[in-house]
Amino acid sequence: MADAPLTLPSPAAESPARPLPQRRSRWPWLLGLALALAAAWLFIDRWFVDRRPIVVGILHSQTGPMAVSERSMIDAEVLALEEINRQGGLLGRPVRWVIADGASDWPTFARQAERLIREHEVKVIFGCWTSACRKGVLPVVESHDHLLLYPMAYEGLEQSPNIVYTGAAPNQQITPAVQWCHETLAARRFFLVGSDYVWPHCVNRIVKDQLTGLGAELAGEAYVPFGSTDVADVAAQIAAVEPDVILSTVVGDSALPFARAIRAAGLEPETTPIVTFAVGENELRGVAAADMAGHYAAWNYFQSLDRPQNKAFVTAFQQRYGNDRTTSDAMVAAYNSVLLWAQAVREAETADTRQVRAALRHQSLDAPEGIIAVDPETQHTWRPVFIGRIRPDGQVDIVWSSRTAVRPMPFPISRSRSEWEQFVSDLYRGWGGRWTAPGTPEQAATAGGPR
């Protein structure tokens, strides 16, 4: 059978052609999605992301005999906070500060700390100079489980979970200076003089223990009423016993009149130098330097340090406050305190006081004076130590350095911790529940040997 012929359909017989489906644009859908996501983000940002300023407290003396030293610490802390805000703040939030005046009076410091915490709800307090004021603030921050960063060299003999100590412990200022005097100045007879409150009394007790260990002699010990400029009798008393060196913990408005009185009493730095633990470049501005020229200072920082980090700090400070301004140890410790706290906030990813306090315990910083770090065991700060000779222009030539940061030891090994704490407690009770001695100038001065 023959195959049937293949018949192709004619074009007329084919199904009518269907138009190709047109592709719908995705742009309206994508635009709607973007708008929805943006609205959701704005909602989350508005209701769930905290954009309020982080409020911090600055508590120093703006009035009274300590204002001469503490106003500059405020300037340094504000400088650090302004730098932080220029970099975008912390956690996407600006930092705002409230400055309170402690008025050189430890009960006022305590009241102001309470107000900063209760009324202003600050996340941290940077503040204090004298140990009397810190002692007044300590029970306030402990009762609120809060945080104080204390940027001042002090006597040690204290350790609180609510305080980070960014100044020097006694083994980072006092005891190295005594050892240096004994070895380099060949000093064998030491006279101890200080303002009449808790810090100098504790420092001098530490020094007397060290002198006993060195086999050196205590030529005398005297105290100037806190804030007094009537220092001629104390200077005459020192001149009468002719010590090899004078260790001075005279502070604030009393410090430079005391140095002036020492010169007036006929004691020159070449034969009877003062080693001060309380006067830095800030107090030596202008004509004041002449009274201290040739004497020595022991600190953890001097403006003359040749480090790029220090030059940057000095430049930034002077650009902000004027080329005639100087920097000092207390100012750098105040500046460092703010930066260490800011690092802890970033690491904790919160400004919550308790969490930041925990993060602070392992912060370090390439600071103007060198690498510093918070010691997690004591909450004191590893810092280098320097001794310098004061120049007529108020700057300091460094004559000795520890070279590296020194581990803080808040309780000197000459006594047990409990013995040191008992010593401090006895001072407080003996002064009628005060951190400054209540005695008259005549009662405050003693000489001739250890007490």
Does 327 share its domain with 418? no
Q: How many CB atoms lie within 10 A of CB 403?
A: 10
pLDDT of residue 23: 56
Helix ranges restricted to H, 127-265: 131-143, 174-183, 198-214, 232-241, 255-264
Does 74 share its domain with 192? no
C-alpha distance from residue 444 to each of 197, 262, 438 (Å): 10, 18, 9
Q: Which range (21-25, 107-111, 199-203, 295-299) has the least confidence?
A: 21-25
Residue 277 in contact with residue 298, Cβ under 8 Å?
A: yes
Q: Which range (47-56, 171-180, 216-225) has the least confidence?
A: 47-56
Contacts with 137 (C-beta within 8 Å, 6 or more apart), sequence order: 59, 109, 110, 113, 125, 127, 128, 148
| Mean pLDDT for the stretch of residues 55-84 | 96
The last residue of one of the domains, among 326, 359, 382, is 382
The last residue of one of the domains, among 331, 361, 382, is 382
Does 178 share its domain with 292? yes
| Mean pLDDT for the stretch of residues 335-345 | 98
Does 187 share its domain with 289? yes
pLDDT for 20 beyond 80: no
pLDDT of residue 51: 78
pLDDT for 13 beyond 60: no
pLDDT for 191 beyond 60: yes
3-state SS of the chain: helix, strand, coil percent to 5? 45, 20, 40
pLDDT for 342 beyond 90: yes
Strands 386-390 and 296-299: antiparallel
**Integer Cα distance of 413 and 278 in angstroms:** 23
* pLDDT one-digit tens code per residue, 371-405: 999 999 999 999 999 999 999 999 999 999 999 99
pLDDT of residue 267: 97
Q: What is the domain range of residue 240?
A: 171-305+386-447
CATH of the domain at 120: 3.40.50.2300
Does 375 share its domain with 398? no
pLDDT for 210 beyond 60: yes
Write out the H or E segment, with its range, that includes residue 317: helix 308-321
**Amino acid at site 349:** E
Does 108 share its domain with 251? no
Does 80 share its domain with 129? yes
Residue 310 in contact with residue 54, Cβ under 8 Å?
A: no
More confident residue, 30 or 283: 283
- Closest of 132, 85, 146, 66 to residue 330, by C-alpha: 66
Reported pTM? 0.85
pLDDT of residue 24: 57
pLDDT of residue 49: 55
Q: What's the number of domains the chain is made of? A: 2
* 224 within a domain of the structure (yes/no): yes
pLDDT of residue 15: 46
Residue 249 in contact with residue 204, Cβ under 8 Å?
A: yes
Does 346 share its domain with 431? no
**Integer Cα distance of 10 and 16 in angstroms:** 12
| Mean pLDDT for the stretch of residues 233-240 | 97
**Integer Cα distance of 208 and 219 in angstroms:** 11
pLDDT of residue 288: 75
Does 181 share its domain with 294? yes
Mean pLDDT of the chain: 90
